[in-house]
Structure 1
Amino acid sequence: MTRSQMQSAVIQYTLIATLNLIVSHEIGRNAYDDVWEDPVFKNLTTTIKFMAVNATLSNNNTSANITGNSNSLPADPQSFYFKILPQSIFVCALLFPLAYYWQIYLERFFPARPRGVEINYEKKEKVEVGEVNEGQEEEVVKRWIAQGKVRRSSVSWWNTFVKWVLDITVGNICLTVLRLLVEGLVTGNFKDTLSYLKSATLLSYSLSFISIRPFASLIGFIVVPVTKRIVFTVGIDTVEAVFVSSFLRLIVPLALRTEFIQHAMGNVTEGIMIANKFHVESAGNIQSIRAGGRTSVRTQPKKVPRVTGKEHSRMTEVHDTTQINDNSAGRAMGYNFIQIDRIISIPDSSLRATSSTATQRKDTFQLPQQVVASGEKILYDRSEPGTTQMIGLFLDPILVRIQLSGTEMAHTATLLGHVGARVQDALEHAVEFRYVKELVLGYRLLISW
């Protein structure tokens, strides 16, 4: 292919990609104002951030270091037109030649039509071909077909299928990895990019299959010339981005106002507030933690009445025990395992039932807190019932809230408080459909915490 064809494709691709970014940004910029201003949603986000600050203060209560550990969010987000947009355009233009030649080599090794042509020898006119380079070959063949001198071969569906599979698998993954690495270099976050490269690649690859991209790629291999194939694909992406952004802008505020969503957010908010209360009470009992050793701190037992029935009406001893467990698997991951055993009685009726028709239970439940900590990072021990579903909290909080019992809800709410401010900031930036980088960052924070 000639250099002029590639330059033309680069210009077209860059212009369409820029239009894609701008349109997606403008459509989604003020699309969710009603969501952020909804009283129930605002109450939920405020509670999350408040609990995150309390968790930080509780973890640093021995030194009373408030200014050194702040969970406050940055006041000024990055400028889209002066920082994000130029960086994105630069990355697109830089990676375009690789994607372009990837399509060229796919077509060369798996041609859509066989190389051979059938020449009609009944024509008496002499055809002077001369030396034809690769860039002129397509135009020459088209002219011969128009003159009736050449009969075009039929499409090779097997080659088309092979090219399509290679493009949506090998090509997609390789270009995604390169894009993330280049973005990390351009934005100055290369180390962070390496840390979540695997998760980001997996997420981006999975999202590509719920979009129109695979279908557009197949159509491109069948009817679009190889030099215009990438331009065609990015054009389809732009149309899809406009449609999806407009659809989300319409449907999300409507869904937020439904009784089910409002009730679910109210339940989560209440659970966070209850978990925050008992987290603050128990956090002060941790006196010392020595990494690599074994420390145990025990407070004096207390007498707490149990009111769950006649068989549980006895007085129960309550102990607060903190110890570091030598867990080889955890240490291999870089964590020190800290087990906090605190048996307390909490009225389960304080947790509102998710279903509006369900009655509130009047018994009590025990809350054994088991966490994994490394510095300020805190995870709950996944051996606890139900905690394996905590990863799905931000992906589908309503489903998790229905499945969790009262005890497990308190666990989940406490975890949410620790990571809420950071993940909430990431999700607020991820509402624009085309920017999945912040969503990947939020997902990485969630699974790493």
Structure 2
Amino acid sequence: MSQPSSIHSRTSSTHSTHLGSSNPADREKKAEPVPAAPLAFPTTGFPELDPLGEWEEETLPMYNPKEYYPARLGQVITHDKDQYQLIAKLGFGSSSTVWLCYNLRTNQYKALKIHINTLPFNRELEIFAVLNGKSKQKDHPGWAHLRRLDASFDIPGAQPGTTHSVLVFEPLGLSLRKFQELMPNEILDHGLVQIALYDALRGLRYLHEVAEVTHAGTAANLARKDFHSDNLLMEVTDQSIFHNIAKEETGTNPSARKRKNPVIYLSRAIISGAGNVILCDFGVARKGKEHQGEAVPLPYRAPEVILGMKWGYAVDIWASALTAWDLVQPTSLFKLYNEKDMELNAAHHLANMVALLGPPPKDFLKKSRACEKYWDKEGKWHHATVKVPTERTMESLQRVLKGNDAVLFLNFIRKVLCWLPEQRPSAADLLNVPWIQGGKLV
């Protein structure tokens, strides 16, 4: 069955995200744009959500309405000379909401990421400082596949004495995960996934080689991943998409919402044009080559993280393979096995790794005494209660691809999913793997 794909139609791997001339001299000659008047938004006539139901950020397990900024469509947020009018909600997360806005001063559409007022430290700002620092290499092929920060500032919150950190970006389109949800059986065409992974790996290569940053996730949201398809967004090349959204919100098709304080709006999906796949969300990324402690939400955790070993860039590589698998296949390789008992969850997770990868080598077992809970000195599984599942193989779980496509895909997965992180390929190495090469545009 054919599937719609804005990625398939891409003809160039780089696109300018700037409006107008790129020549500094030309920009200096231009007069300051005439500020636009704020749009008028309807106060009635919009669809209302069930007031007893939970919607969007309300569904998050740690949601606290007092922590979120009470944004309203049509509201103008001012910073210095810039005036950002909120046009539509684009998304939400455990620590922020994202809004399409229009800068009335510059006449440009932007995206505002407004964080909760209890964020102790905005790690994303730290990472953007690294990406925008002296070491940045705009000619690096991965630069075009990383989200970049336009500006940042704080705004006062509704709660006395609180503030919200705001980040300003170029607005992007659907995430691969949202795009996947539109597909039959929530499975993407493997050719599209090859293109997306090729783009994403180029972004990871820049993070690892140039910025020395690991895009590792947080353990707070147990059922999610961080290098994953929700953080791979499609670049928008047709700005009229945003203009159409503004017309709908101020006209005959305003967003559904739940009347409360703060108002809960349904997010709008932006079906983008043909553009790059952009790696986003550096809120839990880490600077440096080596770390220890919890990282990456549970289903995508590499074995070294589960067992308390030191970890680095290889956790992103592990996650890239699981991301590809989840986009192409109907059943995940690993999952959240037991949310209430993390020790038991770790045992099930490692047992499933043994089933799919075979027993770990002795060199791996020497890296942490925690291994003694699960294996004997010879590498034989000996956990007291959890057994290694039988008849669980990658071939039995791979149900979509056929023939040579299936062979190349499984070779790629096996190349990445190995016990020793030092044996996993780098992002640069993966770009030359035959299955990933299928996403290279010539």
TM-score, normalising length: structure 1:
0.17
Higher helix share: 1
TM-score, normalising length: structure 2:
0.18
